[in-house]
Structure 1
Amino acid sequence: MTSEKEKGYRSALETALKAGEKILEKGGSASDAVTEAVASMEDSELFNAGKGSVFTNNEDHELEASIMDGKTLNAGAICSVKHIKNPIKLSRVIMDDPEFVFLAGEGAEEYAEKKGFSLVSNDYFFSEFRYNQLKSIKNEGSMKLDHDSDKKFGTVGAVAIDKYGTIAGATSTGGLTNKKYGRIGDSPVIGSGVYADNETCAISCTGYGEFFLRAVTAYDIAATMKYKNVSLQKAADEVIIEKMTRFGGEGGVIGIDSSGNIVFSFNSEGMYRGMVKEGEEIKTMIYKDN
């Protein structure tokens, strides 16, 4: 982590936070706020989502995203798409469509076109940095996280609370470098990679998706809050620091409850993260303590 690279990440996090904050300041919904925050990070090559997505074994890109509203429990998700510039924006449209929750691949892209989305070439997601990542591990035959070497995961997410007291969560990713066979992670799966319920919390996860899928991590945090009657911080730490560590799952979560309490919980060396509250300065963090 060079000082220049760290500055770039913190700047990108601030831009995303400001995009979400702008929606909330105008009285917009938590769902719209997390959509804009995530879309901002999808537009950056620094994160493993949207523009910065990693390469699959086939040397292309397959993207995933999801969003959930804590008041209505409506949700929208997509996976295995190759031509959607901002996957989170399509997930947001699906969330408001009572006919669907989860769409995949070509069907999702056909739906997107009918909803007025312009598809982009898969080459839009190309970057030399990501291609070099693929080449460096392709001969090994393994799949790796975006930031496998330094454990600061690249999947992006956002959680928010609006002036009406509604909370929402959103997650977006390009998956694993060198992934095969149409592999899908936890990011688009409601309850695993994202969850929101005004009675408990909104959660967005990042890490090795197979573990988060098996553990239904996002929902488990909400359920722990509800059934054990504990705080969001205690619930998140119980699931991430205790359960997931025993389970062998590495990663973390961001979360917010209906009182506006914000948590970051992760069992890795670091996690790019940030927060902003009304009347307070934006904060960004990378490592355990800063």
Structure 2
Amino acid sequence: MMRSVRSALIALCISGGAGAAHAQDAAPRWSLAIHGGAGVIERASLTPEQDAAYRAALQRALDAGSAILGQGGQAMDAVQAAIQVMEDDPLFNAGRGAVFTAAGRNELDAAVMNGSDLTAGAVAGLTTTRHPIAAARAVMERSPHVMLIGAGADAFAASVGLEQVDPSYFFTERRWQGLVKALTEAGQPVPPRPIGAPPSGAPNLGAQAALPAPPLNEKKFGTVGAVALDAQGHLAAGTSTGGTTAKRLGRVGDVPVIGAGTYASNADGCAVSATGDGEYFIRATVARDICARIGSATAPDAAAQAEIDEARTLGGLGGVIVMTTAGAPVFAMSTSGMYRAAAASDTSARVAIYAVED
């Protein structure tokens, strides 16, 4: 029987279920889980073409991270690789394909954290750095800071050699039309079309030509993230987002707030990436609290569900992916779906979208 959307918990473990994974005598040599956002994603809201497109996109990201881990690479490298694939894919609300602010801009946030030493890096309000997740990692590894924002964050990213693009690079027609619809429904003025964007009505080019339209109610979700366990037993987490459609210029959600949308700790045996209503995930300190619960011997699935329920009590919906040192990923959500996938050294990859799948 399908569980209520209010407290849907999906243990999309690569061996077929959380119990099976925990019953193994030894943890997988490596394990990876990713998400592409949670929301009101129901079977009836996706055409077969849309369903297939999202699954293929998730598989590409999963393959990128798995290739690194399979060669003995570090968890952080795998997390970054998987997320960069999704940042480049217009299907997701991160990087190219990010939603627009009410002022008609794309403002991008990201964060990363190493479980081995609790180092972390975050950026917010980027407008010219192609891969925000790479900028977050650079803040962690190449600066004395944890978070940089706005023009200063873009300038720092450029100073360390990260690729810079014109802001129009992030433009996608479907996200622009989503902004127009949201502002029109709210009775707010629609800003001028961004400079450098293709003219209204012009044929889409490149990857956008075959891009399926998103579910009608996808405007708030689509954040991407990854959590990984590498062969050395280290955990890492990363998250990247464009935020929410028609957000106030300068708004920052939970993603770059360490402990809210992103957290990792080897000592607690936990790495988390979250997606959903950021204001509520910040108030509930979702990611850090999940790890604290697990570190205090709470079962990972129970820890994840407790935090998702707490955020819902405050008014926020969304989901989390959790990786443990046992290599068994847990996916928890309070929505009807979350784009997600998992793979490990000892089992086959699996991709899922809806809260309950066979």
TM-score (normalised: structure 2): 0.77
Over 3 Å counting, the alpha-carbon distance change for 1:190 and 1:180 in structure 2 is same
What displacement does 1:103 show? Answer: 0.5
User: Per-residue deviation at 1:235?
Assistant: 0.5
RCO higher in structure (CA 8 A, sep ≥6)? 2
In structure 2, the residue matched to 1:23 is 68
Q: Cα distance, 1:179 vs. partner?
A: 0.8
Q: Which string of whole-angstrom CA distances, capped at 9 and with x for unpartnered residues, describes residues 181-223 of structure 1?
A: 3100001110001000012200000001100111111001111
One-letter identity of the residue aligned with 1:178? A
Aligned to 2:280: 211
Unaligned runs of 5+ in 1: none
Which of these residues, 254, 276, 291, is aligned with residue 222 of structure 1?
A: 291
Answering whether residue 102 of structure 2 is matched by residue 34 of structure 1, we say no
Answer with 1 or 2: which has the greater Rg.
Answer: 2
Correspondence list, 1:139-288, <5 A = 139-141=184-186, 149=217, 153-200=221-268, 201-227=270-296, 229-240=297-308, 242-288=309-355
Match in the other structure for 2:207: none
Q: Secondary structure at the match of 1:281?
A: strand
- Answer yes or no: is the 8 Å Cα contact 1:78–1:91 preserved in 2: yes
Amino acid in the other structure paired with 1:245: R
Structure 2 match to 1:104: 149
Aligned mate of 2:171, from 110, 113, 126:
126
Kindly tell me: are residues 269 and 72 of structure 1, through their superposed partners in 2, closer, same or farther at Cα, counting changes over 3 Å? same
Deviation at 1:105, TM superposition (A): 0.7
Q: TM-score, normalised by structure 1?
A: 0.95
In the comparison of the two structures, how many residue pairs are matched?
286
Shift of 1:285: 0.5
**Hey, what's the Cα distance between the residues in 1 that align with 2:315 and 2:216?**
15
Alpha carbons 2:178, 2:219 under 8 Å: kept: no
Q: Would the alpha carbon gap of residues 207 and 147 (structure 1) be closer, same or farther in structure 2, given more than 3 Å must change?
A: farther
SS in 1 for 2:250: coil
- What is the percent sequence identity of the aligned residues? 43
Q: 2:182 aligns with which of 137, 162, 167?
A: 137
Inter-partner Cα distance in structure 1 for 2:253 and 2:267: 26
After superposition, the C-alpha distances for 1:11-60 in whole angstroms (9 at most, x for unaligned) are 00000000000111111110110000000100100000001101111111
Partner secondary structure for residue 184 of structure 1: coil
CA contact (8 A) 1:142 1:178 kept: no
Cα deviation for residue 248 of structure 1 reads 1.6
Distance 1:46 1:84, change over 3 A: same
What's the offset of the Cα at 1:178?
A: 0.6
Deviations 1:116-141 (A, max 9, x none): 12310110011110011000011344
- Structure 1 residues 92 and 142: alpha-carbon distance in aligned structure 2, compared to 1, 3 A threshold: farther
Q: Which residue of 1 aligns with 2:103?
A: 58
The answer (yes or no) to whether the contact 2:220–2:243 under 8 Å persists in 1 is no
Which secondary structure does the structure 2 equivalent of 1:59 belong to? coil
Counterparts of 1:133 and 1:247, CA distance in 2: 27
Offset at residue 151 of structure 1 (A) = 8.8
**Partners of 2:249 and 2:91 in 1: how far apart?**
26
Consecutive unaligned residues of structure 2, counting only runs of 5 or more, are 1-45, 189-213
Q: Distance in 1 between matches of 2:187 and 2:178?
A: 12
